[in-house]
Amino acid sequence: MITMQEIFNEIHENGGLTPSRKVREIAERFPEKIAFRNKEFGIWHQITYEEFWNQAQYVGHALKFYGVGVKDKVAVHSENRPEWIIADIGIQAVKSITVGLYPTNPSPEVKYLLGHSESKVLFAEDQEQVDKVLEVIDHLPELLKIVYFESRGITRYENEKLISWDDFIEIGKKEYENDRDFVVNIQNGINSEDTAIMIYTSGTTGPPKGSMLTHGNLEWVATQIPELSFTTGVDNPQYLSYLPLCHVFGRLVDLIIGIHTMGTINFAESIDTVQTDLAEVQPSVFPAVPRILERMHAGALVKMKDASKLKQILFSAASKLGDITARRRLEIGEEDFIARITNFFAQLLGFRALRKKLGLLNVDNALSGAAPIAPEILRFFMSIGVPIYEGYGMTENSAIATGNRPGKVKLGTVGVPQPGVELKLADDGEILIKHPGVFKGYFKNDEATKEVVDSDGWLFTGDVGEYDGEFLKIVDRKKDIIITSGGKNVSPSEIENNIKTSPYIREAIVIGDDRKFLSALIGIEFDIVSNWALRKNIPHTTYRNLSENENVQELIWEEIKKANERTSSLAIRKFRMITKELDHEDGDMTATQKVKRNVMMEKFSDLIEDMYKWFFFFKQHSKV
């Protein structure tokens, strides 16, 4: 079997390939290599690269059978599973374009995304996703076929556009037998400028825009793999696919890096079993978004409070040693001798067991991306022996911009430019990026494209940054920076991330634009606060009931005061509790779980105005 160093050598010599060509190459050279492991009803099933490529070809043939041609769009609306990637590769191989939808997209968003993208075929996971599209089917005249992965509850439906995945693949298989070279012939004609995938932006301020990434963009990213800060060096790496494949981060890790490193992609049984599946798979690579890391951090701390006295003592001792390890590795480097000793004893005292429970025992490379994260969270993971390297990228630059890396880490920054990346700051601090991975443009929106990419190819990211030595620090989204009535510029995300290091706080939305002081809307981490309340004998029933409890509000205020002590910005003087869990389907958040600030300002305007009715310069908070 090929080693990782040999894979890197081949990429250095020949460059990276667009994903469908890479799958074909692996299938021809290493047909028995395991591509996927999928857990169903507690049992793991395997798919080889040969089976992967064959099924992808069947998809391509079946799409042709139903009239899908070059440049036509085909959508996938599903949780992560093998069929998602198989469909994606099959679509791309015949020069059609894959459009990913989030499983949480409600019916009105499904209507917009399928309509705007002009999708001809939809791959839908199950009855829930099929129902969403059938609700708006009359508004989607271009949609020819709906292919469902799971048949439960759908077999009784009478709609000529519906077909099961198995039947769809069987049609493709028959077509393949009639013309075995069709897919390969089309694939051989792929050009770098051809659009491969369309990823819709989260739409925090308006309708989502379809970002077109080309085969050339994906090839360039693949060519950078040996030098990227978050590429594993382990032979036969194991991945756990749980980041949404319709998001650029999930696609980067699973579709490009996972396949090019000939890894095995393990699929979580469901989004609810990710933590259990992590512990079982023990992956080599752990890509994460801040929300996942925050919950891991909070869960570990809360469980330790419920542990036996002996375990608490051991954890406390391990934490002190871990803090020394983290500090020395940050100041001196990964190979510091004393850090190795302190880490060795910290692992013996309890951190090895903790890493195993978290599913991070075998992690060779871990990264955090897609949103800012508090340095304290990264320091915690570094202290337990799992350095997580924060990086920066966005859909429009194929998720490649900057990253921290082993031996070159500065917490609170997003690292230094990745290989092949040109980066500069505009006069107002906006980060500009230039490299061959910058996207082709927004689908059917030339005006928006011209606003973000200039004639010289520089991408205007919309993020404001500043240098901390050679490291880049993200200040905030340009549009989100708060200017108080006193003229002070404030980065809300820095304060919000500080507050969210508390295990009890899930959401924090800082208010203060054109105001005399800063305030915040707070959403609790229900499970953890509920556990705290039970230990305090505080009765409660619902999320609202718990949020309105006086003792809980006192707890949250103490957590905010701790965050105020750590901030380099203005302090939060007042807060109000959000008495409902924020939800994508209610329009509170984007599909990527980013809070829609404008929606929050409108929905909770009464709470916000109440905080500014009376202004006192003494420390206070009010009950909801």
Is the model more confident about 89 or about 568?
A: 89
CB 382 within 8 A of CB 326: yes
Residues facing residue 121 across a β-bridge: 74, 145
So what's the pLDDT on residue 622? 44
Q: What is the largest CA-CA distance in the chain?
A: 80
**CATH number of the domain where residue 65 is located:** 3.40.50.980
So what's the pLDDT on residue 31? 96
**Domain presence at residue 89:** yes
- SS3 of residue 515 by DSSP: coil
**Domain presence at residue 106:** yes
Residues facing residue 97 across a β-bridge: 73
> Which stretches does DSSP call E strand in 412-483?
416-417, 422-425, 430-434, 441-442, 459-468, 471-477, 482-483
Antiparallel, parallel or unpaired: β 285-288 and 365-368? parallel
Q: Report pLDDT digits (tens) over 280-314.
A: 999 998 998 888 888 888 888 888 888 889 999 99
What backbone torsions phi and psi does residue 237 show, to the nearest 5 degrees? -65, 150
So what's the pLDDT on residue 274? 82
**Domain presence at residue 71:** yes
pLDDT over 90 (residue 400): yes
pLDDT over 70 (residue 203): no
CB 454 within 8 A of CB 396: no
The whole-number average pLDDT for the span 220-227 is 94
**Domain presence at residue 489:** yes
Q: Report pLDDT digits (tens) over 455-494.
A: 999 999 999 999 999 999 998 888 888 888 878 888 888 8
pLDDT over 80 (residue 204): no
pLDDT band at 616 (very low <50, low <70, confident <90, very high): very low
> What is the C-alpha separation between 186 and 496, in angstroms, rounded?
49
Q: Is 400 exposed, middle or buried (0-12, 13-18, 19+ CB in 10 A)?
A: buried
The whole-number average pLDDT for the span 54-64 is 98
* Amino acid in position 83: E
Output the DSSP codes for 130-171.
HHHHHHTGGG-TT--EEEES--TTTTT---TTEEEHHHHHHH
Domain boundary among 189, 213, 235: 189
Domain boundary among 121, 154, 189: 189
- Give, rounded to a whole angstrom, the gap between the first and last alpha carbons of the chain: 62
Domain boundary among 155, 189, 223: 189
Range of the domain at 103: 51-189
The whole-number average pLDDT for the span 150-162 is 92
Q: Report pLDDT digits (tens) over 447-462.
A: 999 999 999 999 999 9
> What is the C-alpha separation between 267 and 234, in angstroms, rounded?
19
Q: Report pLDDT digits (tens) over 342-359.
A: 999 999 999 999 999 999
pLDDT over 80 (residue 103): yes
> What is the C-alpha separation between 174 and 171, in angstroms, rounded?
5
pLDDT band at 557 (very low <50, low <70, confident <90, very high): very high
**Domain presence at residue 171:** yes
Q: Which residues contact 153 (CB under 8 A, 6 or more apart)?
A: 126, 127
* Nearest C-alpha neighbor of 257 from the set 296, 283, 218, 291: 218
**Domain presence at residue 227:** no
pLDDT over 70 (residue 198): yes
Overall domain count for the chain? 2
Percent of the chain with pLDDT over 70: 97
What mean pLDDT is reported for the chain?
90
So what's the pLDDT on residue 624? 41
The whole-number average pLDDT for the span 8-16 is 94
pLDDT over 90 (residue 260): yes
Q: Which two tokens stand for residue 26?
A: 């692996």
**Domain presence at residue 577:** yes
Listed range (318-327, 432-441, 560-569, 583-592) with the worst mean pLDDT: 583-592
Could you tell me the strand order of the sheet in which 430-434 lies? 422-425, 430-434, 459-468, 471-477
* Amino acid in position 301: L
So what's the pLDDT on residue 620? 45
pLDDT band at 42 (very low <50, low <70, confident <90, very high): confident
pLDDT band at 614 (very low <50, low <70, confident <90, very high): low
Is the model more confident about 567 or about 67?
A: 67
Q: Which residues contact 121 (CB under 8 A, 6 or more apart)?
A: 63, 66, 68, 74, 75, 143, 144, 145, 146, 147
**CATH number of the domain where residue 554 is located:** 3.30.300.30
**Domain presence at residue 593:** yes
pLDDT band at 520 (very low <50, low <70, confident <90, very high): very high
* DSSP label at residue 429: -
The percent helix, strand, coil of the chain (3-state, each to 5) is: 45, 20, 35
Most confident stretch, 70-84, 380-394, 515-529: 70-84
